[in-house]
């Protein structure tokens, strides 16, 4: 059983950030403590958002409270998601260094939340901070295609491109890299698939295992799926890693995490369809009705059985 400190966003209603991460981690048998970087009424896909972005001093003060009571001892994993500004990235750097002093074997999982679909939604300077500060400290990183391109300055249009991007992230010191979703050139449009590309590197033996998993692409306005996946991957990898002497745990963890994510997203799409609210494609932010956005909130609780016992099956293929 892992003990996880999760530092990311929080919403009152909906499932993104810590709201998407804590429950699956707990359901899969791990202890989770959370520090919130923001507290919003709902995620930013809605037309109206109320709430507060917390200063780095707030994050560090909460961690200092844990330290004062000896509650910072025993963490096996640190999970980070949305930071929003450079000060919060530096706060996470400080917390990670202190946790690594307490537990040199700490697993640090970094979801580098920078943007998607070709656009940043955080300040530009965060790209360099993630690349130069957090990635060298990380055990596992989970960028999407755009984030991987930004971190490595590599255009990803093929599996070979994705492998090179993974190698660049390995060169920063990251043992485990998962590009969570990539749209690759030359694929049959009728298949309508995305690719997960993973790479596991063993420093002691200099061995490496790179793999890919194709999975169906669903149309819609899903938010929080990356947060959900990172938590699932941490949970599965934490349980599987002790069973593998060298390589193999990451691919198996990705198979299980992706199976759950695909099932929950399919259940979410089915629910949204059942609402009867139109979901026209390619609607920009600000033109998406709240009723429609609400329909795409991840169905994590109604589909919770898919977290422990996913029905979809995916197989990693070595590349």
Residue 24: exposure state from Cβ atoms within 10 A (0-12, 13-18, ≥19): buried
Looking up tokens 């390995």, which residue turns up?
A: 170
Active-site annotation holds for 167:
no
Contact between 76 and 3 (Cβ < 8 Å): yes
Q: Given 227, 273, 309, 312, which residue is catalytic?
A: 227
Distance CA 163, CA 197 (A): 8
In 3D space, the residue among 73, 7, 26, 36 whose CA is nearest the CA of residue 238 turns out to be 26
Alpha helices (runs of H) in the chain, residue ranges in sequence order? 18-27, 56-68, 86-102, 125-129, 145-152, 159-171, 225-240, 249-275, 290-295, 305-308
Query: CA separation (Å) from 59 to 7, 54, 92, 141, 170?
Result: 9, 7, 8, 21, 29
Active site residues: 227
């Amino acid at each position: 059983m892992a003990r996880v400190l999760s530092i990311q966003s929080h919403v009152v209603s909906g499932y993104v950030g810590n709201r998407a991460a804590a429950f699956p981690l707990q359901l899969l048998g791990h202890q989770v403590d959370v520090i919130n970087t923001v507290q919003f009424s709902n995620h930013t896909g809605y037309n109206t958002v109320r709430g507060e972005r917390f200063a780095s001093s707030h994050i560090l003060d909460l961690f200092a409270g844990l330290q004062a009571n000896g509650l910072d001892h025993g963490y096996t994993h640190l999970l980070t998601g949305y930071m929003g500004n450079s000060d919060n990235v530096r706060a996470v750097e400080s917390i990670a260094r202190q946790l690594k002093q307490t537990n040199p074997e700490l697993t640090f999982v970094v979801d580098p939340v920078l943007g998607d679909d070709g656009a940043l939604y955080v300040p530009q300077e965060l790209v360099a901070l993630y690349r130069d500060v957090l990635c060298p400290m990380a055990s596992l990183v989970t960028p999407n295609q755009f984030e991987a391109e930004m971190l490595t300055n590599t255009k990803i249009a093929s599996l070979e491109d994705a492998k090179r991007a993974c190698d660049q992230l390995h060169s920063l010191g990251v043992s485990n890299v998962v590009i969570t979703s990539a749209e690759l050139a030359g694929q049959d449009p009728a298949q309508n698939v995305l690719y997960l590309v993973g790479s596991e590197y063993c420093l002691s033996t200099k061995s490496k295992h790179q793999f890919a998993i194709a999975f169906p692409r669903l149309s819609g306005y899903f938010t929080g799926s990356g947060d959900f996946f990172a938590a699932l991957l941490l949970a599965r990898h934490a349980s599987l890693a002790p069973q593998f002497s060298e390589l193999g745990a990451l691919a198996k963890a990705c198979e299980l995490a992706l199976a759950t994510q695909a099932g929950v997203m399919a259940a979410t799409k089915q629910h949204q369809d059942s609402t009867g609210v139109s979901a026209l494609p390619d609607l920009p932010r600000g033109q998406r009705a709240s009723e429609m956005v609400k329909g795409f909130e991840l169905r994590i609780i109604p589909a919770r059985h898919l977290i422990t016992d996913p029905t979809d099956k995916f197989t990693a293929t070595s590349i």
